Amino acid sequence: MSGFQIGVIVGSLRRDSFNRRLATALAQLASKEFTFKQLEIGDLPLYNQDDDANQATPVKRLKAEIAASQGLLFVTPEYNRSLPGVLKNAIDHASRPYGQSAWAGKPAGVIGVSVGAIGTALAQQHLRNILAYLDVPTLGQPEAFIQSKEGLFDKDGGIGADSREFLQKWVSIYEAWVRRHAG
C-alpha cells in the first residue's frame, strides 16, 4: 500500500472546538504517506434501531468513509466525565445493523484535549471500552491527555513548540500502529 487514508472522528460539533483544532494540527505532523479526512458526524439523526433496515443517507456516507479508511483517529472532548453524545451516536450508527459494523478491524488512535488538568482521560477510557467491544485495535501507549493552555497551538494553527516533540512522537507511534494493523 502506497498511502494510508485516516478517517478522523472529532467528537465535538463546536465551530471553534479545541479538538477539531488538534485533529487538524496532528495531520500536519504526519508523514507524507498519511492523509487525514475529518468525517462529518453532525448531520446524523439520533440512532434508532427501527432504522437499521433503511439507514439514512448521512449514515451510509459515514459507513462508506470508514470502509475507505485504513485507520481511524478519534479526537474527543470530555463531557461530564465521558464521551460526547454526538460521538456515541456516530459509533452506534456505524456499528449497525448487528453484524455489519464499519468499525471492525480498523486500527485506531484515541486522543483529546480539554481545559481540565486531566485532559480527556475519562472520555478516552470510556471510548476505549466501546472500541474494544467493536473489535477496533486501539493504540494503548503512549496515552495523550492534552490540557489546552496557552502555547498548545502556534499562531498558524499548528502544534506549539512546547508540545510538538511529544505529539510528533505520538503521531509517529500511531502511524506505526496503523501500518502494523491495516489489512
pLDDT for 2 beyond 90: no
Mean pLDDT of 25-43: 98
pLDDT of 22 reads 98
Across all residues in the chain, what is the average pLDDT?
96
pLDDT of 172 reads 98
Angle at 87 between CA 82 and CA 89, to 5 degrees: 110
140: cell is: 494503548
pLDDT of 178 reads 98
86: cell is: 454526538
Report the percent of the chain where pLDDT is more than 90: 96
pLDDT digits (tens, 9 = 90+) for 94-108: 999 999 999 999 999
Q: The whole model's pTM is what?
A: 0.97
Q: Beta strand pairing status for 108-114 and 145-147? A: parallel
pLDDT of 183 reads 67
Rounded distance, CA 82 to CA 121, Å? 9
